[in-house]
A and B are shown apart, each in its own frame.
Chain A
Amino acid sequence: MDLRPLRDAPSPEERDAIDAALGAPAAPPTPLALGAAEALRPQLLSALHAAQSRVGWVSRGALGYIAERLHMPPAEAYGVASFYALFSLTPRAERVAHVCDDVACKARGADALAAALEAALGPAGESTQGIGWHRSPCLGLCDRAPGVLVQCAGATPLEAALGEARPDVVLEALRRREVPAEPPTVIHQPREGLRLLQRVGVADPTQLDAYRAHGGFLALRRALTLGPAAVVRELSDSKLAGRGGAAFPTARKWQAVAAQPARPHYVVCNADESEPGTFKDRVLLEDDPFAVIEAVAIAAFAVGAEEGIVYLRAEYPRAYTRLTEAIAQCEARGYLGDNVLGRGVRLRVRVARGAGAYICGEETALLNSLEGKRGEPRSKPPFPVEVGYLGKPTAMNNVETLVAVLEILREGGEAFARRGTPQSTGTKLFCLSGHIARPGVYEVPFGTKLSALVALAGGVTAGRRVGAVLLGGAAGVFIGPDELDLALSLEDARAAGATLGSGVVMVLDDTTPLLPYLRRMAAFFRDESCGQCVPCRVGTVRVEELLSRVARKKPLDSWAAETERLEALAQTMCDASICGLGQTATSALSSALARFEILPKDEPSP
């Protein structure tokens, strides 16, 4: 391609960091044909991470050098880099704290934390002696709210999460470039009956042998013995449905990929858990990484793929370390590689990191991101099972879904299907957060009553009653205290006009006004819209503006007209947005309007 490079040169540090990520450059650089150039593109995000974690931001010189190394137009590299919230294309503090001020943390002191940091460091986004802070959407630390992600650039960069963050601890961590070790995950429920969480908090997640000692790799052995078709049959018998939110039958997805004539096939594990209030996948990724890897390997085997990719959100640094170290151990011990378990099967797993974009949890946006592009959803059809990663058939599954596959292979599909309800089989992880006594991840069979689940977590914070429960995340619905009898199954939720989504159960007590939460969610969707389609790009802005008027009690004209306006917006966003983000961006708001008094009753005097 005849590309015109950016003229700015990288600093030696930037150049070294980028070369370390991409390998030493060929000399002299010569143009590549289109196909060869495009094949380099998937390395873009990791190169950007390398530059940013070295100096704290992505400079012109760094971006220009990356574009040159990857034979891509600088304008496109800029377009991609500027899409992701964790990349800064202007000078930024070398050490930053990303402070979660999203709904779950908001319920547990995030605003006070932000105010304290502002007092100490100035407004968000500014740099004081190389130290700064930013507001962040949900960091998946809702069980230890408020959560903070600390990033310190340098030769040995630091990235670490900080739960139950106090201002002094955050400031100290930034100053000393050191974060106190996060305590191990605590399971608050009785251990018997735990299946997906059986090893969490029990087996050392850094040791392959500990994993083996707790039943690790039996499922992979069984899969290799059964063969791909039989694995899919077991899955079919289990009636396993995807746990990422859409509840698509996993067996059908795998079957569809396996049957595609185009090669190669790919498996992608969607570990971009970003739905506000969700952290169950983080628990599995951090505390049972070998299980995730084993499950990805089984999926690859079943669909005829040789490569599995875990797309992990960049906000989970500990999961990244655990996974990459676990993969290295698996390769060293022959559980991954060119001859898995001596059966002549080739299976590889690698981890790719996102860079701060909720939309990349949408499967086609994730694929674009994996390919080094902007995380813009593709139009469907075609679906990823036909046209996925690099245009090839791709099976994409959520972390929890994959880990459930291990259970299915361990006990058989039919046995698995006996748990839960006839239509929602197995157990499900729920993320309890907000005004609850023991926030955390809980595993219960489908069909468990919401009230029982809340009770399992110790009930509402002492002395309070349930005011509202956000079910399913920002893209979910608010339900009222009179609906706690809801059975948590796909079919019961659907019948009640609700959704289980990604398993979010965020409880707000009866003293908490909803409007600030609705506004935070509206701001969230505005920030996280990819910007492709008009209904979502502009609609999310207009919804937020409308809620600002509600907060100020000043309608444009009348509350009746505002209601009509909101209805037209909600209908258009649901009907005409490209992807689920826009389609569900008004879901929680609409559910709240239907159940609670949000809009002022009195019309302004003319």
Chain B
Amino acid sequence: MVLWGSNAREAHPIFFHHVLKAIRRGAKLVVVDPRRTASAAWADTWLSVKIGADIALANAMAHTLIAEGLYDKAFVEAACEGFEALKAHLAGYSPEAMAPVCGVDAETIRQVARRYAQADRAMICWTLGITEHHNAVDNVLSLINLGLLTGHVGRWGSGLNPLRGQNNVQGGGDMGALPHKLPGFQDVEDPVVRARYEALWGASIPAKKGMTLTEMFEAMGVGALKGLYVLGENPAQSEADGGHAQARLKKLDFMVVQDIVFTKTAEMADVVLPARAAWCESEGTVTNSERRVQRVRRALTGPEGARDDLEILGALAARLGHPLGPLTAEALWDEMRTHSPMHHGMSYARLEAEGGLQWPCPDDAHPGTPFLHGRLWERPLRSPRARLSITHDAPPVEALTPEYPWRLTTGRRLDAYNTGVQTGPLRSPLWRETTVDMHPDDAAGAGFADRTPVTVRSRRGAVVAPVRYDPSLPRGVVFMTFHDPDAVDTNTLTIDVTDPRSGTAEFKAAAVAIAALSHSDAAE
């Protein structure tokens, strides 16, 4: 089991219970993370990869798999494409060459590659340590290469899993809350698909894909996007380079915010639509990281004046001249699954009786699908081959300089969630203020005693917070959380360069300077 760029012990605690069970039964855990996290503390092997050097490490492992003949030749031959190109490309990625780049010594890289290849079943799980980089997609592709080369895909107990950070990231995508997809990952630019939905909805659908969140913010910046409707998101505080994001939001002619609490973003809005909390004041479904669709139910009536998301959207549609009639979550779900093949078999009745179902579940008798890509093991292969990808090591966009010599990375803590909108009221005895975590030797070398307040400055902004000594960090790295933005708005420091394909910002790597608190800072 490889956890790559994931501190599941704190960020996905109940998933980690399952990992612990496996460890108790003898499974071996490898954790790849610059920090020696609580998850890494359970690992047999911890690889303290340098920030942003994941591709160097993954490619060096792939190099080893091929050089030592450890890859699954039969599987690669039968089910993959691009092997020869990959092999040629990886020639320059020997463990020796990559060791100084990724900070893991060559022999350790080889050993982990061997153990991964030789395991009966092996799984790679990752989270934002992989995806919050400017080259997020390449990061993921280089991990997929490892799974494909070893055949650790499409089988029970093996696979490649992104652990979702929110309860319905997966479901939102499944339902088409992506700029280029309709429900069930059907392509919006496919005229056949589009025609089907146009017939169903009695309205035309734009023929071209829409903008990603990042593209929207860029469009706001140049004045191309003038109106924004924000549902359940707090971009004024959650976006990288928060100061910049807020400036762009201010440029809008008109902004509507629909949320369950009055967020920082809502403060900037022209209209605020108070909504009921989806997870306990509304009916519906969410989909978790294992593609399990489960019911959420209304347990509370919700505050006076707050309305269900569906009700708000329905009323809005009516005002805009498109009355949708009475909407219920189940009726909408049934409509959706009629047209999304992978959801066909998931009636509310089944979801309730069977404790959720994992898609694809194409018909009423289908038990759901615990793992994907089993098709790659069909012989002869009746579906497209899986592609091995060429990925290039590329360091973080913002290089360290004498002026900004520290590498800032960000992450979550166990008892808090994102910008703290929901966990704020939780009176957690574990709560502690936002700190600037540094290796004790680094901090002492820079002249900061434990708990000294410092100014952390990036090219985009500055915050003030106390230093906290943390020996689990590698040298040169500074770690901060972003849970308490009203006190310390960490995201004013982060950089909003994004991966062009996924649109995710490089929250995990910024360059910062740290200085003792000056009088002017203190006055702020």
Tell me whether A30 is interfacial, beta carbon within 8 Å: yes
Residue contact A28 to B42, C-beta cutoff 8 Å: no
Tell me whether B363 is interfacial, beta carbon within 8 Å: no
Report the separation of the CA atoms of residues A403 and B91 in the bound assembly, to the nearest whole angstrom: 68
Residue contact A2 to B41, C-beta cutoff 8 Å: yes
B38 in complex: contacting residue of A2, A28, A34, CB < 8 Å? A2
Report the separation of the CA atoms of residues A3 and B36 in the bound assembly, to the nearest whole angstrom: 13
**A1-B41, A2-B9 known; A33-B36 Cβ under 8 A:** no
Tell me whether A5 is interfacial, beta carbon within 8 Å: no
Residue contact A31 to B29, C-beta cutoff 8 Å: no
Of chain A, the residue at the smallest CB distance from B38 is A2
B40 in complex: contacting residue of A3, A28, A31, A34, CB < 8 Å? A31
Interface of A is mostly: loop
In the assembled complex, the CB of A186 is this many whole angstroms from the nearest CB of chain B, namely 54
Q: Tell me which residues across on chain A come within 8 A of B43, comparing CB atoms.
A: 33
Tell me whether B69 is interfacial, beta carbon within 8 Å: no
Residue contact B36 to A30, C-beta cutoff 8 Å: yes
Report the separation of the CA atoms of residues A34 and B44 in the bound assembly, to the nearest whole angstrom: 8
A33 in complex: contacting residue of B9, B29, B471, CB < 8 Å? B29
Tell me whether B427 is interfacial, beta carbon within 8 Å: no
Tell me whether B23 is interfacial, beta carbon within 8 Å: yes
**A30-B36, A33-B29 known; A1-B42 Cβ under 8 A:** yes
Report the separation of the CA atoms of residues A30 and B23 in the bound assembly, to the nearest whole angstrom: 19
Interface string of A441-475 (1 = CB under 8 A from B): 00000000000000000000000000000000000
In the assembled complex, the CB of B80 is this many whole angstroms from the nearest CB of chain A, namely 33
State the interface size on chain B (CB cutoff 8 A).
Answer: 13
Residue contact B471 to A34, C-beta cutoff 8 Å: no
Q: Tell me which residues across on chain B come within 8 A of A3, comparing CB atoms.
A: 41
Report the separation of the CA atoms of residues A34 and B41 in the bound assembly, to the nearest whole angstrom: 9
Of chain A, the residue at the smallest CB distance from B23 is A34
| B residues 31-59 in Cβ contact with A at 8 Å | 36, 38-44
Give the size category of A's interface with B: under 10
**A2-B9, A28-B471 known; A33-B40 Cβ under 8 A:** no
**A1-B41, A1-B42, A2-B41 known; A34-B36 Cβ under 8 A:** no
Q: Tell me which residues across on chain B come within 8 A of A2, comparing CB atoms.
A: 9, 38-39, 41-42
Tell me whether B379 is interfacial, beta carbon within 8 Å: no
Residue contact A31 to B36, C-beta cutoff 8 Å: yes
Q: Tell me which residues across on chain B come within 8 A of A1, comparing CB atoms.
A: 41-42
Tell me whether B24 is interfacial, beta carbon within 8 Å: yes
Q: Tell me which residues across on chain A come within 8 A of B36, comparing CB atoms.
A: 30-31
Residue contact A33 to B38, C-beta cutoff 8 Å: no
Interface string of B206-231 (1 = CB under 8 A from A): 00000000000000000000000000
In the assembled complex, the CB of A530 is this many whole angstroms from the nearest CB of chain B, namely 25
Interface string of A31-57 (1 = CB under 8 A from B): 101100000000000000000000000
| A residues 331-352 in Cβ contact with B at 8 Å | none
Residue contact A31 to B41, C-beta cutoff 8 Å: yes
| A residues 14-36 in Cβ contact with B at 8 Å | 28, 30-31, 33-34
Q: Tell me which residues across on chain A come within 8 A of B9, comparing CB atoms.
A: 2
Q: Tell me which residues across on chain A come within 8 A of B29, comparing CB atoms.
A: 33
In the assembled complex, the CB of A29 is this many whole angstroms from the nearest CB of chain B, namely 10
Report the separation of the CA atoms of residues A245 and B41 in the bound assembly, to the nearest whole angstrom: 46
Q: Tell me which residues across on chain B come within 8 A of A33, comparing CB atoms.
A: 23, 29, 42-44
In the assembled complex, the CB of A39 is this many whole angstroms from the nearest CB of chain B, namely 13
Q: Tell me which residues across on chain A come within 8 A of B44, comparing CB atoms.
A: 33
Report the separation of the CA atoms of residues A2 and B36 in the bound assembly, to the nearest whole angstrom: 10
Of chain B, the residue at the smallest CB distance from A36 is B44
Most chain B beta carbons < 10 A, residue from A1, A30, A33:
A33
In the assembled complex, the CB of A31 is this many whole angstroms from the nearest CB of chain B, namely 4
Of chain A, the residue at the smallest CB distance from B40 is A31
Q: Tell me which residues across on chain A come within 8 A of B471, comparing CB atoms.
A: 28
Report the separation of the CA atoms of residues A30 and B40 in the bound assembly, to the nearest whole angstrom: 10
Q: Tell me which residues across on chain A come within 8 A of B40, comparing CB atoms.
A: 31
Report the separation of the CA atoms of residues A2 and B471 in the bound assembly, to the nearest whole angstrom: 14
Q: Tell me which residues across on chain B come within 8 A of A30, comparing CB atoms.
A: 36
Report the separation of the CA atoms of residues A31 and B38 in the bound assembly, to the nearest whole angstrom: 9
Interface string of A577-604 (1 = CB under 8 A from B): 0000000000000000000000000000
Q: Tell me which residues across on chain B come within 8 A of A28, comparing CB atoms.
A: 471
Report the separation of the CA atoms of residues A291 and B36 in the bound assembly, to the nearest whole angstrom: 52
Report the separation of the CA atoms of residues A33 and B44 in the bound assembly, to the nearest whole angstrom: 5
Q: Tell me which residues across on chain B come within 8 A of A34, comparing CB atoms.
A: 23-24, 42
Interface string of B463-491 (1 = CB under 8 A from A): 00000000100000000000000000000
Report the separation of the CA atoms of residues A3 and B24 in the bound assembly, to the nearest whole angstrom: 16
Report the separation of the CA atoms of residues A261 and B199 in the bound assembly, to the nearest whole angstrom: 69
Of chain A, the residue at the smallest CB distance from B26 is A35
In the assembled complex, the CB of A498 is this many whole angstroms from the nearest CB of chain B, namely 46
| B residues 253-310 in Cβ contact with A at 8 Å | none
Q: Tell me which residues across on chain B come within 8 A of A31, comparing CB atoms.
A: 36, 40-42
Of chain B, the residue at the smallest CB distance from A29 is B471
In the assembled complex, the CB of B316 is this many whole angstroms from the nearest CB of chain A, namely 48
Report the separation of the CA atoms of residues A257 and B409 in the bound assembly, to the nearest whole angstrom: 55
Q: Name 19 extra pairs, CB < 8 A, besides A1-B41, A34-B23, A34-B42.
A: A1-B42, A2-B9, A2-B38, A2-B39, A2-B41, A2-B42, A3-B41, A28-B471, A30-B36, A31-B36, A31-B40, A31-B41, A31-B42, A33-B23, A33-B29, A33-B42, A33-B43, A33-B44, A34-B24
Sample of 6 A–B contacts (CB below 8 Å): A2-B41, A2-B42, A31-B36, A31-B41, A33-B23, A34-B24
9 pairs of A and B residues whose beta carbons are closest in the complex: A31-B41, A2-B41, A2-B38, A33-B44, A34-B23, A1-B41, A1-B42, A33-B43, A2-B9
> Chain A interface (Cβ within 8 Å of chain B)?
1-3, 28, 30-31, 33-34
